[in-house]
Amino acid sequence: MELKDKTIIITGASSGIGASAASLFAAEGANVVLGARREELLKAQVQAIQSKGGSACYLSGDVCDADYAQALVDLAISQYGGLDGALNNAGMMGDMCPLPDMPLENWNAVLTTNLTSAFHAAKAQIPVLGKQGGGSIVFTSSFVGFSNGGMTGMGAYAASKAGMIGLVKSLAADHASEQIRINALLPGGTKTPMAGDDPAGHEFIAGLHPMKRMASPQEIAQAALFLLSDRSSFVTGCPLIADGGVSVRLA
Ligand code: NAD
């Protein structure tokens, strides 16, 4: 029960890493507040957690919307009386292509979904955690943007995920004295809908990693659990790499 009675917001909770984190955190005793756009999937996720005796609620919306970030915080407070942390995890990859061929619309969509959403989430979450005497915020970044790992055509995605690491370091410095810990989680290639379901694609991604495999979403959720639990009580401003060694590969 690493998160007993902690209330945690998880965005991108309708699939992949966010869905795994929702199940894991609830099993570890958290009240989870789930966000993403697809209401039916969130509802099913909440029902699955409740059927196992866990505590969960949801609100569907778009993380690009500042009001939605605030509404998730308000829901945590109205439903569970406060907020202890968040896994700001929703994200998109966008088109993979060389930058000269990239439409501005793709750049804007990726930066807004992945990075401006972090701004909205931090703005809504930090004041509440400050008033409560502390908490833990995690942003899902990526190995792409940190090492790039041999992935091409990912300028917008890499910029958004690298930007998130800079944001985390700055926020951590600003709010450490309030006992608010703010970290980035950098997964390697992970078997989720974002990575597609083409076996050849999976084999290519697995081959980039020294461990010669992709992560399961559950493995990444475990790293998020560490950052949200008191086990990481002196960890802040950290890009936590969970990437099967892709950032240290030789070639
Ligand atoms: P996924 O596609 O299964 O999950 C993405 C989630 O974000 C979904 O729930 C989706 O509905 C939600 N989402 C996307 N845009 C949204 C929006 N505008 N508003 C609300 N919700 C939105 O993929 P995943 O792999 O689980 O991705 C989770 C995070 O992990 C992302 O930030 C992604 O960039 C990051 N990541 C993934 C990998 C990988 O290989 N899968 C590697 C490194 C980092």
Q: Tens digits of per-residue pLDDT, 139-183?
A: 999 999 898 777 899 999 999 999 999 999 999 999 999 999 999
Q: Compute, in angstroms, the gap from residue 12 CA to the centroid of ligand 1.
A: 6
Q: Give the number of residues written for the chain.
A: 251
Q: What is the pLDDT of residue 150?
A: 78
How many angstroms does the Cα of residue 34 sit away from the middle of ligand 1?
A: 13
- Rounded to an integer, the average pLDDT of 103-126 is 98
The model's confidence at residue 197, banded by pLDDT at 50, 70 and 90, is: very high
Q: Where do we find the tokens 């690298």?
A: 162
Strand segments, DSSP code E, in 178-250 are 180-187, 239-242
Q: Would the pTM count as exceeding 0.95?
A: yes
DSSP summary character for residue 214: P
- The DSSP symbol for 60 reads E
**CB 17 within 8 Å of CB 225:** no
Q: Is the pLDDT of residue 251 over 60?
A: no
CA of 13 to the centre of ligand 1 (A): 9
- What residue's CA is closest to ligand 1, atom 41? 190
Give the sign of the dihedral formed by CA 208, CA 232, CA 28, CA 133.
negative
Please name the residue whose Cα sits nearest to atom 13 of ligand 1. Answer: 90
Q: What is the pLDDT of residues 116-129, one digit of tens each?
A: 999 999 999 999 99
pLDDT digits (tens, 9 = 90+) for 9-63: 999 999 999 999 999 999 999 999 999 999 999 999 999 999 999 999 999 999 9
Structural domains of the chain in order of their starting residue, each with its CATH number: 7-250 (3.40.50.720)
Q: Which atom of ligand 1 is nearest to the CA of 62?
A: 19
Q: Point out which residues pair with 138 in neighbouring strands.
A: 87, 183
- Check if 157 is active-site: yes
Of ligand 1's listed atoms, the one at least distance from the Cα of 144 is 43
Identify the band that residue 205 occupies on the pLDDT scale cut at 50, 70 and 90: very high
What is the rounded distance in angstroms from the CA atom of residue 197 to the CA atom of residue 67?
34
